[in-house]
Structure 1
Amino acid sequence: MNDITSAELKERQANGTAPIIIDVRETWENEESRIDGSRNIPLGELPTKLEDLEDLKHQEIVVHCKGGGRSASAKAFLVQHGFDHVRNLIGGMQGYQQA
């Protein structure tokens, strides 16, 4: 599935059609700034949280980090484990704050 831009995500949030948003940054980063409605699961904890996410396998999920690197890894990991609608937020939190 194609990745998502900050502008598209903000538009979808504004019209009430936002996907599930998972922030894979560390907890302290999430505490400094966060996207409304996002769920914080640091990348290193993702393997242990797979069971908790099982019911989201066929829903649209957007993963993000600071700039896009960790979330690209998270996307690949989730897809590898059967999640079929995962998108990476292009530019990460930095891009989102500038959009």
Structure 2
Amino acid sequence: MTDITPTELKERQAAGTAPVIIDVRETWENEESRIAGSQNIPLGELPGKLEELEDLKEQEVVVHCKGGGRSASAKAFLTQQGFQNVRNLVGGMQAYQQA
């Protein structure tokens, strides 16, 4: 699955068709700024949360971090765990805030 641009994500949110959004930044980063409707699961905690995320394996999931590095790791990890439709937010939170 191709990654998603901030513009596409904002359009989907406005249309009410936003995918599941997981913020893999640290909790303190999420507290400073967050994408509406996202859930915060820091990258280091992702392996321990797999059971909670089991229902999302067939759904579209967007992962994001500050600039795209940690979320690229999260996308690779989730894909390895059988998630079929994981997309990385291109440019991360920095790009989202400027879009």
Q: Structure 1-normalised TM-score?
A: 1.00
- The one-letter amino acid paired with 1:2 is T
Deviations 1:15-49 (A, max 9, x none): 00000000000000000000000000000000000
Establish whether residue 84 from structure 1 lines up as the match of residue 84 from structure 2: yes
Structure 2 distance, partners of 1:2, 1:29, is 26
Q: Return 5+ residue gaps in structure 2 as ranges.
A: none
Structure 1 distance, partners of 2:63, 2:83, is 12
Structure 1 distance, partners of 2:17, 2:66, is 23
Structure 1 distance, partners of 2:14, 2:55, is 25
SS of aligned partner of 1:34: coil
Following superposition, the deviation at residue 70 of structure 1 comes to 0.0
Q: Structure 2-normalised TM-score?
A: 1.00
Following superposition, the deviation at residue 64 of structure 1 comes to 0.0
SS of aligned partner of 2:87: strand
Structure 2 distance, partners of 1:54, 1:15, is 26
Equivalenced residues, count: 99
The runs of 4+ residues in structure 1 deviating greater than 2 Å are none
Q: How does 1:12-91 map to 2 (within 5 A)?
A: 12-91=12-91
Structure 1 distance, partners of 2:2, 2:36, is 22
Per the alignment, residue 11 of structure 2 pairs with 11
Deviations 1:45-96 (A, max 9, x none): 0000000000000000000000000000000000000000000000000000
Per the alignment, residue 97 of structure 1 pairs with 97
